[in-house]
Amino acid sequence: MPINYNLPVFEVIRDPSRCIKCRVCERQCANEVHSYDEENKIMLSDEAKCVDCQRCVTLCPTHALKIRENENRFRRNANWHEATIREIYKQADTAAVLLSSMGNPEPLPVYWDKILLNASQVTNPSIDPLREPMETKVFLGKKSTEIKRDSNGRLITDMDPQLELALPVMFSAMSYGSISYNAHECLARAAAELGTFYNTGEGGLHSDFYKYGPNTIVQVASGRFGVYKAYLEAGAAVEIKMGQGAKPGIGGHLPGAKITDAVSRTRMIPQGTDAISPAPHHDIYSIEDLRQLVCSLKEATGYKKPVIVKVAAVHNIAAIASGVARSGADIIAIDGFRGGTGAAPTRTRDNVGIPIELALASVDARLRDEGIRNNVSLVVGGSIRSSSDIVKAIALGADACYIATSALMALGCHLCRNCQSGRCNWGIATQEPDLVKRLNPDIGYRRLVNLMTAWDHEIKELMGGMGINSVEALKGNRLMLRGVGLNEKELSVLGIKHAGD
Amino acid sequence: MKRIFINKQWCLGCHLCEFNCAFANSGKTSMVTALKDKQVRPRVRVEEHGKDTFAFSCRHCKDPICIKSCISGALHKDNGIVRIDYDKCVGCCTCITVCPYGAIARGDDGVMRKCELCVDNMDGTPYCVSNCPNGAIVFEERD
Amino acid sequence: MNKEGQVRIPSGCAISGIFAKDGRNISGEVISNSMTVMHDRSNGLGGGFAGYGIYPQYKELYAFHIFYDSARAREECEKYLEGKFEIANMSKIPVRPSDAIKDAPLIWRYFVLPNHNTLADSLLDEKEYVARAVIEINTKLQGSYVFSSGKNMGVFKAVGFPEDVGAFYRLEEYEGYSWTAHGRYPTNTPGWWGGAHPFALLEYSIVHNGEISSYDANRRFIEMFGYKCTLLTDTEVITYIIDYLVRKCNLTLEETAKVIAAPFWSTISKKSEEEKRHLTYLRTNFSSLLVTGPFSILLGFEGGMMALNDRLKLRSMVAAEKGKMFYVASEECAIRQMEPSLDKIWSPMGGQPVIVKLDNLDNKED
């Protein structure tokens, strides 16, 4: 046995009393973990290839399969964790940067879970959303309180361009290339049915999806893939991607293997070449440069579409957001350090950036202190996991939330965090036709609509419980929040009181 | 009349339909007891040609040649569904030879078996349809 | 125990209002009496009144009513006032001591005009200058609290039942064309007079019954525009919202009502194209000033009064007319107490403002 033998991370547990040897697991595993031994008539497993995506477990008709973490352990050490040791062996073997995908899985604080919501009791009534109107419609864009009237004294009702959302959630940027055609179709159709928006990510817009333009946010990132006039005009808004929560400060790298014919046409790069997004935009080295790009994009789209600037939540996010708010941008999207990715260096994903809860609280407070909160809408993302996370985010000061990981989970993602392999067994993070077809958009888009419909109901229930019947009255309403188990500094950054106070 | 159709585009070739069909027609309440270490005789078959796969079962033809050829009168139409009267079937296999789709097969008891749209099984929805993981098999009215 | 301003204290309430469109003088006793029949809606922890047209002899001057915790606070505040204003008249507000009203602070009244030079140097318009001075005293000068600051109007409030507060301030000695009243049922002991209502800034005064669920959303928004919510009460934030929308943004009262009690989107979608645009414009641009949760408010202002319920009408409010007189109250009994035989009585719809104004503002001023 060579010294670089790495023990499999997972064990495949097959219950022989249940297995009927239908071989569905074998057919469904793109990693070729399962196989059938014709001679001995037994199912075999090559566990080293298993990524715990749960596809076989889900499809096994007799529920004969379980995947669990390998119980074999290196000698326990509170300093040298199992994963750390494995990573060292791997790098000693390959000399390579470690790659990961999806969001930061480390046990860092999740502030959403330490914030509790209020409800009405006695002194004012809670409101039943089944009996009374309950409004979750949101307009994103610059608001003006400067009143202008015509010569007859009538209000002049011209507004800066706005995005109208039927519910305060949008699907955040995931490029075609990093995810499949079918995944994009699911997102586009769901956004259209729900009255919200999905985001092309930096990979351009497939020609089939221009028809969903009114529900599409087109992204302009540092690689400028697929960006041209018709693309900008196709969307309802243009998003400049300055950073991503999963990998602040670095660019992207989509390997040539994923640049299929259709991806190459959409991205406008040769088939099979790596698609490399530079770390910075090379025409934006400072805030005044950003302003020029914002203005150029507005000029290119006739000042009819809001421009979003997406930034990763980093240490001085409040100052950055203040600068962005003065750059002419209509919407600031902030992506927290738990945000997902199709591939990122592990060290960056797990160690760079700050929690979205704290970033949001400090940005909202800073923009209000400076009196410019109305100049921009705030959209936050980076692991928004449920309707209560959304309600808490809005009460902290967000206008709306971006979700992506939870949307992918509705499509089948089981968070195995191996998007970078390109062999997604759920047909999401892959370009292989056999795998892509596993995601039937008729099913996928319906599940997305279901998820959002359920969340919208829950948002309404929670708002009603607080006696609030419109989401505007929840925005920045921090008295509706209390912290549990947070220290003074955390409470002061979040701008909330402790429970019981 | 609602019939089973295949959206070939979405067929993954997983063969789950076959096992679910065999289970549905087994009369058992558990797939394990129904199929474990048994010869599986589904009434739907996944045809494979390289990477092209599609599931396939009785078309319930408007003018079924199997009924015309049945020497014992076991095959008959019931509300548009082609069904077999097992008591009448003599196991001559004529229907197998005439069916252009290969949708009829012999059961363990020598009597013919074919898809009867699960009318007597489960909740009345063909079990292959309700258990297809990718919506490739549908049960619907088409012209 | 924390006092008002250190902690948010929700409260239930009674409100009442009377308005003479022909500008005739109404004694403060009338409004005070109307509150007696709604005694049970208050719990003795706050009552107050606002009267308009009560200082005709000083109608061009800002009438500041100030609570002081101590003589030292008064000294400090008067020094501040002297630096910014010409003080035409200053005196204690006459009161009638009674067992029902305890722990009274020092209560003073000043008729002032901004000092011409400091006003010019400030580059502010006169009202903004006065408003900022009031906010500065209330937030920065310990122990001083300006609770009334309009021209030809005054607020009278205390910890106690409203009818006792009326007697304490000798309201029968004042006459005006418009009065509002408030009885408070707070869920905590404020122990501080500034926390009683009405709440007023310049000539706007608010009495409010309800507990708004949008409070912090509204507060954090309005504080962007130079206001500082020190009392943490609904009434305070609603007053600032109205001051901001009407005085600073120049919205009409009707437009203001469409912001704070905005029609539902489903209602807006059924309107004509022009109205749809108009309502969408107001609701979108001023979205953070939508007030949700139960409220019934009476806004007093120079020459008029507006009554408004939240859009679901989660608080009772009745309005009535008799000739040129307009009445409004939490309960019909309070109106009947003022005028038993009415021409018309109705329950205004949620979100629909009832606005009354003097028939002829010029005549009133003559």
The pLDDT assigned to C191 comes to: 62
Contacts of A242 by beta carbon, 8 Å cutoff, 6+ apart? A281, A284, A290, A309, A310, A311, A312
Query: Is A182 a domain residue?
Result: yes
- ipTM for the complex shown: 0.92
Tokens of C322: 């008799």
- Are residues B131 and B109 part of one domain? no
Question: Do B and A count as touching (3 or more CB pairs closer than 8 A)?
Answer: yes
- Pairing of the two strands A216-220 and A198-199: parallel
CATH number for position B25:
3.30.70
The model's pLDDT over C38-68, given as tens digits with 9 standing for 90+, comes to: 988 888 788 999 999 999 999 999 999 999 9
Q: Is the pLDDT of residue A56 over 60?
A: yes
CA pair distance C48, C154, nearest whole angstrom: 11
List the Cα angle A122/A124/A129 in 5-degree steps: 110
Q: Is the pLDDT of residue A59 over 90?
A: yes
Residue among A17, A61, A443 whose CB faces B19 most closely: A61
Q: In which residue are the tokens 């985001």 written?
A: A199
Q: Is the pLDDT of residue C4 over 80?
A: no
Q: Is the pLDDT of residue C362 over 70?
A: no
Sheet holding C178-186, edge to edge: C153-158, C47-52, C178-186, C11-20, C325-329, C318-322, C344-346
Q: Tell me whether residues A476 and C288 touch, CB distance under 8 A.
A: yes
Query: Is A72 a domain residue?
Result: yes
- Are residues B40 and B78 part of one domain? no
Superfamily of domain C11-365: Aminohydrolase, N-terminal nucleophile (Ntn) domain (3.60.20.10)
Q: Does C314 touch chain A (CB under 8 A)?
A: yes
The model's pLDDT over A268-282, given as tens digits with 9 standing for 90+, comes to: 999 999 999 999 999
Share of chain C above pLDDT 70, in %: 94
The pLDDT assigned to C2 comes to: 63
Distance from CA of A422 to the nearest CA of C (A): 43
Chain C residues within an 8 Å CB radius of A133: 264, 266
CA pair distance C205, C199, nearest whole angstrom: 6
The pLDDT assigned to C187 comes to: 64
For A216, phi then psi, to 5°, come to: -120, 135
Question: Do B and C count as touching (3 or more CB pairs closer than 8 A)?
Answer: no
Q: In which residue are the tokens 């409203």 written?
A: C162
The pLDDT assigned to A171 comes to: 98
Query: Is A480 a domain residue?
Result: no
Q: Tell me whether residues B16 and A20 touch, CB distance under 8 A.
A: no
**pLDDT tier at A120, thresholds 50, 70, 90:** very high
Q: Tell me whether residues B134 and A61 touch, CB distance under 8 A.
A: no
Residue among A17, A24, A442 whose CB faces B14 most closely: A24
Chain A residues within an 8 Å CB radius of B36: 18-20, 62
Number of domains within chain A? 2
Distance (Å) of CA B17 to CA A150, B104, C244: 69, 16, 68
Report the chain C residue with the minimal C-alpha distance to residue A128: C312
- Are residues B107 and B143 part of one domain? no
Instruction: Provide the 10 A C-beta neighbour count for residue A116.
Output: 15
Average pLDDT, chain A: 95
For C185, how many CA atoms within 13 A lie in the half-sphere containing its CB? 16
Number of domains within chain B? 2
- Are residues B53 and B4 part of one domain? yes
CATH number for position A39:
3.30.70.20
- Are residues A71 and A205 part of one domain? no
**pLDDT tier at A124, thresholds 50, 70, 90:** confident
Q: Tell me whether residues A22 and B13 touch, CB distance under 8 A.
A: no
Give me the residues of C, 138-177, that contact A with CB < 8 A.
none
Q: Is the pLDDT of residue A64 over 80?
A: yes
CA pair distance C225, C234, nearest whole angstrom: 17
Tokens of A122: 């006695």
Q: Which domain holds residue A425?
A: 172-472
- pTM of the model as a whole: 0.93
What one-character DSSP code corresponds to residue C168? H
Residue among C220, C266, C282 whose CB faces A476 most closely: C220
Q: Does C285 touch chain A (CB under 8 A)?
A: yes
Q: Tell me whether residues A20 and B32 touch, CB distance under 8 A.
A: yes
Mean pLDDT of A136-150: 94
Instruction: Provide the 10 A C-beta neighbour count for residue B48.
Output: 12
- Are residues A363 and A229 part of one domain? yes
CB B134 within 8 A of CB B11: yes
| DSSP letters for A86-105 | HHHHHHHHH----EE-SS--
Distance from CA of A14 to the nearest CA of B (A): 14
How far separated are the first and last CA of chain C, in Å rounded?
50
**pLDDT tier at A266, thresholds 50, 70, 90:** very high
CA pair distance C191, A105, nearest whole angstrom: 51
Active site residue C333: no
Chain A residues within an 8 Å CB radius of C291: 473
Report the chain A residue with the minimal C-alpha distance to residue B16: A24
Q: Does B53 touch chain A (CB under 8 A)?
A: no
Distance from CA of C290 to the nearest CA of A (A): 6
Distance (Å) of CA C173 to CA C55, C205, C337: 11, 20, 20
Mutant choice from B6, B134, B137, B138 vs A, greatest count of A C-beta within 10 A: B134
Q: Which domain holds residue B100?
A: 62-114
Q: Does C270 touch chain A (CB under 8 A)?
A: no
CA pair distance B18, A180, nearest whole angstrom: 29
| B contact chains, 3+ CB pairs < 8 A | A
Mean pLDDT of A321-341: 96
Query: Is A289 a domain residue?
Result: yes
Distance from CA of A455 to the nearest CA of B (A): 25
Q: Tell me whether residues C292 and A467 touch, CB distance under 8 A.
A: yes
Give me the residues of B, 112-131, that contact A with CB < 8 A.
131
Q: Does B49 touch chain A (CB under 8 A)?
A: no
Query: Is A144 a domain residue?
Result: no
Q: Does B135 touch chain A (CB under 8 A)?
A: yes
Give me the residues of C, 25-84, that contact A with CB < 8 A.
none
Mean pLDDT of C73-90: 95
Give me the residues of C, 85-144, that contact A with CB < 8 A.
none
- Pairing of the two strands C47-52 and C62-68: unpaired
Share of chain A above pLDDT 70, in %: 100
| Number of helices (H), then strands (E), in chain B | 5, 8
Q: Which class for A241: exposed (0-12), middle (13-18), buried (19 or more C-beta within 10 A)?
A: buried
Residue among C211, C281, C288 whose CB faces A159 most closely: C281
**Nearest CA to C331 among C10, C14, C7?**
C14
Q: What residues of chain B score a pLDDT lower than 70?
A: 122
- Are residues B133 and B83 part of one domain? no
Positive or negative torsion for Cα A302, A305, A311, A313: positive
Q: Which of C13, C77, C229, C333 is catalytic?
A: C13
**pLDDT tier at A4, thresholds 50, 70, 90:** confident
Average pLDDT, chain C: 91
The pLDDT assigned to C233 comes to: 83
- Are residues B51 and B4 part of one domain? yes
- Are residues A200 and A55 part of one domain? no
The model's pLDDT over A188-204, given as tens digits with 9 standing for 90+, comes to: 999 999 999 999 999 99
Chain A residues within an 8 Å CB radius of C12: 123
The pLDDT assigned to C285 comes to: 96
Tokens of A213: 């333009």
Mean pLDDT of A359-387: 97
The pLDDT assigned to C364 comes to: 46
CATH number for position A387:
3.20.20.70
Query: Is A226 a domain residue?
Result: yes
CB pairs < 8 Å spanning A and C: 115
